[in-house]
Amino acid sequence: MTTIAAQPHSGEAVDAGRRETLTVIDNRTGKSYELPISEGTIRGLDLRQIKREEEDFGLMAYDPGYANVAACKSAITYLDGDRGILQYRGYPIEQLAERSTFLEVAYLLIHGELPGRAELEAWSHEVTIHTFVHENVKGFMQGFRHDAHPMGMLLGAVGALSTFYPDAKAIDDPEVRYLQTIRLIAKMPTLAAFAFRHSRGQPYVYPDNELSYPGNFLSMMYKMSELRYEPDPRLERALDVLFILHADHEQNCSTSAVRGVGSSRVDPYSAIAGGIAALYGPLHGGANEAVLRMLARIERKENIPDFLKGVEEGKERLMGFGHRVYRNYDPRAKIIKRAAEDVFEVTGARNPRLDIALELERIALEDEYFISRKLYPNVDFYSGLIYESLGLPVEMFPVMFAIGRTAGWVANWLEQVGDHEQRIARPRQIYTGARDRDYVPIEERP
């Protein structure tokens, strides 16, 4: 970065020529600074030299929610929110949802390329043989209260895995990293299904390694006394598509949490437990749960106008609508809407809440409030309806999200560990509190 000679502020545009730089004039001092632009960004630290007085700290950017800060470089997921484009490693989400499988997509996210036949077989085999968990994991999961939220159970269980695999701390060893990658993708459905069975008071079902990734998950969820659970291939496929759609989404709240926690160079189980905690919240992975509760509250189509009035008056939020990045239709919502119809075909009854959702979407998309704010349905608007039709209670919805997203979390964690530009995440603050006060003994306080 170069500091151009200090100039008085003339109010005229500075001729920056055709250089890939940004010229900033500090009107407090009249000084001008030339900051390099690279890949559409300036370096945050380049602002630091902009000071009123020599001893000043220097300028910072204030950006709550990191709405315009790139915290990393990533080659995993491309997202163009204005045009509704989502690509994993360059492949459009629509093609992957139509033609790939979740395990192949997980391979793609982790390795950067689609696998050859032998590679896919080896990858699927490795994931499959790591689906079992240590018996003590089962033991401590049984210790949760009967009504424990399955997402809280998953969060605790994944964090606890770090104690079962202390070798995972050696994050600089690529073989160790690879083993944890496989373990995380393989064990997440097992832990998720155990949490579900726990909430039902049913015995946990061990993995069936003869089944596909989603088929085994369905078996661990629903198998009762039959010798072998036979998943319906259409449900298996719908679930696989849901996992694909949720597999990654760039630097969302939970992935940033994984990167933030991981930046301390902790083991990946602890980092991913951080991601699960972030995903638990109602504005993120908890949104599909919130959508269902909202649809239940609306109850009937006739109540929609009143509900939307409340939204416009700021009393409510239309859950499943809006997105920080998409200012156009969420491409995942389109695919999921179709998958919902497929699932209803298998499960027989059309979910009555789908009609409320469709009507809500129709009215909202014609409403000035939503149009002017570019609020469209997001992936969570319909996913909850599918989960409900699969017989899942709302508490399981964010857990389902977590199974798919594990592939993206791990891919981002791997990328971060190998990125030498990364440092421990440590944002700054604008301090607004009191200063330089003297301690007052309690008896002297007013």
Per rule CB under 6 A, is residue 311 in the interface with ligand CMC? yes
Nearest distance, CB of residue 383 and ligand CMC, angstroms: 9
Nearest distance, CB of residue 377 and ligand CMC, angstroms: 9
Q: Which of 237, 323, 353, 405 binds ligand CMC (CB under 6 A)?
A: 323
Q: Please tell me the count of residues contacting ligand CMC according to CB under 6 A.
A: 20
Nearest distance, CB of residue 84 and ligand CMC, angstroms: 13
CB 133 within 8 A of CB 191: yes
Judged by CB under 6 A, the stretch of 156-164, 295-303, 313-321, 435-443 that binds ligand CMC is 313-321
Q: Residues 198, 208, 323, 330: which is the catalytic one?
A: 323
Q: Which of 48, 169, 317, 327 binds ligand CMC (CB under 6 A)?
A: 317
Matching residue, tokens 């972030």? 278
Judged by CB under 6 A, the stretch of 97-105, 197-205, 370-378, 437-445 that binds ligand CMC is 370-378
CB 6 within 8 A of CB 29: yes
Per rule CB under 6 A, is residue 319 in the interface with ligand CMC? yes
Q: Which of 232, 373, 427, 428 binds ligand CMC (CB under 6 A)?
A: 373
Residue 140: how many CB atoms within 10 A of its CB? Answer: 14
Nearest distance, CB of residue 311 and ligand CMC, angstroms: 5
Nearest distance, CB of residue 73 and ligand CMC, angstroms: 21
| Active site (annotated) includes residue 380 | yes
Per rule CB under 6 A, is residue 404 in the interface with ligand CMC? no
| Active site (annotated) includes residue 323 | yes
| Active site (annotated) includes residue 149 | no
The residues near 135 (Cβ < 8 Å, ≥ 6 apart) are: none
Binding residues for ligand CMC restricted to 279-308, rule: CB under 6 A: 283-285, 287
Q: 28 or 373: whose CB is closer to ligand CMC?
A: 373
Residue 290: how many CB atoms within 10 A of its CB? Answer: 19
Per rule CB under 6 A, is residue 409 in the interface with ligand CMC? no
Per rule CB under 6 A, is residue 246 in the interface with ligand CMC? no
Nearest distance, CB of residue 160 and ligand CMC, angstroms: 25
Per rule CB under 6 A, is residue 406 in the interface with ligand CMC? no
Per rule CB under 6 A, is residue 322 in the interface with ligand CMC? yes
Q: 107 or 280: whose CB is closer to ligand CMC?
A: 280
Nearest distance, CB of residue 262 and ligand CMC, angstroms: 19
Q: Which of 214, 231, 262, 320 binds ligand CMC (CB under 6 A)?
A: 320
Q: Which of 375, 386, 407, 414 binds ligand CMC (CB under 6 A)?
A: 375
Q: Residues 208, 240, 330, 380: which is the catalytic one?
A: 380
Per rule CB under 6 A, is residue 321 in the interface with ligand CMC? yes
Beta bridge partners of residue 22, listed in sequence order:
35
Phi and psi based region of residue 222 (left: phi greater than 0; alpha: psi -120 to 50; beta: remaining): alpha
Q: Which residues bind ligand CMC (CB under 6 A)?
A: 249, 252, 283-285, 287, 311, 317-324, 373, 375, 378-380
Q: Please identify every residue annotated as catalytic.
A: 284, 323, 380
